[in-house]
């Protein structure tokens, strides 16, 4: 009996179950949100746990950008420091939004991809990041934000399976934002890409 061959299907089932649980929790957050800030917080919190060690949700709200960061551990100071950073300083987030397509980094070859903290430390190092994925939040043809999940070095790498689920979560988030922002005509007159903020 080959234990490695038997472990692979079990790992895939675990990954699917975790991803579907995250999708369900994010859907619940999208439905329950009554204001945009609440949506960011609930989405980040819903994805933190078995699906991701850290979650960063960025959204451009009319003229100003909003960011919410959640982590698995009790790292409120680190979460607040990362929440204070601009998405413009995170190359992987900027790239996903510019290309308007989800991106996965199965390993963190460039530790500066998630940005730099005010004290000079790299966010990826502070998070203990081993892999990450970013999905833009799309409104029509515009990227109005993104959701970034980060897994630690000791966790399984983010795969294309999780990236696909993350893209669906970003779609749910976009639909919730559209619902919260109101009629299309008013929203379109104020919309701009997060990277332009």
Of the two residues 186 and 63, the one the predictor is more confident about is 63
- Residue 111 belongs to domain spanning: 3-196
pLDDT of residue 191: 42
CATH code for the domain of 141: 3.30.450.40
- Name the pLDDT band for 110 (thresholds 50, 70, 90): confident
Residue 109 tokens read as: 């070859």
- DSSP states along 60-84: EETTEEEEEEEESSS-HHHHHHHHT
Model confidence at 19: pLDDT above 80: yes
pLDDT of residue 197: 41
Residue 184: C-alpha distances to residues 28, 37, 76 (Å): 23, 20, 36
Model confidence at 120: pLDDT above 60: yes
pLDDT digits (tens, 9 = 90+) for 39-77: 999 999 999 998 999 999 999 865 578 999 999 777 899
Q: Residues 20-25: what's their mean pLDDT?
A: 87
pLDDT of residue 6: 53
Of the two residues 38 and 10, the one the predictor is more confident about is 38
Q: pTM for the full model? A: 0.84
pLDDT of residue 62: 56
pLDDT of residue 144: 93
The span from the CA of 156 to the CA of 38, in Å, is: 29
Q: How confident is the prediction for the chain on average, in pLDDT?
A: 85
Domains held by the chain: number: 1
Q: Residues 170-182: what's their mean pLDDT?
A: 90
The span from the CA of 159 to the CA of 49, in Å, is: 16
């Amino acid at each position: 009996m080959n234990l490695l061959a038997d472990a692979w299907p079990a790992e895939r089932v675990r990954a699917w179950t975790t991803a579907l649980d995250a999708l369900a929790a994010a859907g619940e957050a999208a439905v329950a949100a009554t204001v945009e800030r609440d949506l960011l917080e609930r989405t980040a919190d819903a994805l933190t746990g078995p699906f991701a060690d850290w979650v960063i949700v960025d959204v451009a709200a009319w003229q100003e950008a909003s960011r919410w960061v959640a982590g698995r551990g009790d790292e409120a100071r680190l979460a607040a420091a990362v929440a204070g950073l601009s998405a413009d300083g995170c190359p992987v987030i900027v790239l996903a939004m510019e290309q308007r397509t989800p991106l996965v980094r199965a390993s963190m070859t460039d530790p500066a991809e998630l940005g730099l903290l005010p004290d000079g430390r790299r966010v990826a190092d502070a998070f203990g990041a081993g892999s990450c994925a970013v999905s833009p939040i799309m409104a029509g043809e515009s990227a109005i934000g993104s959701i970034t999940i980060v897994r630690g070095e000791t966790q399984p790498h983010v795969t294309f399976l999780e990236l696909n689920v993350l893209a669906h979560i970003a779609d749910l988030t976009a639909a919730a934002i559209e619902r919260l922002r109101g009629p299309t005509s008013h929203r379109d007159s104020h919309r701009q890409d997060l990277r332009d903020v």
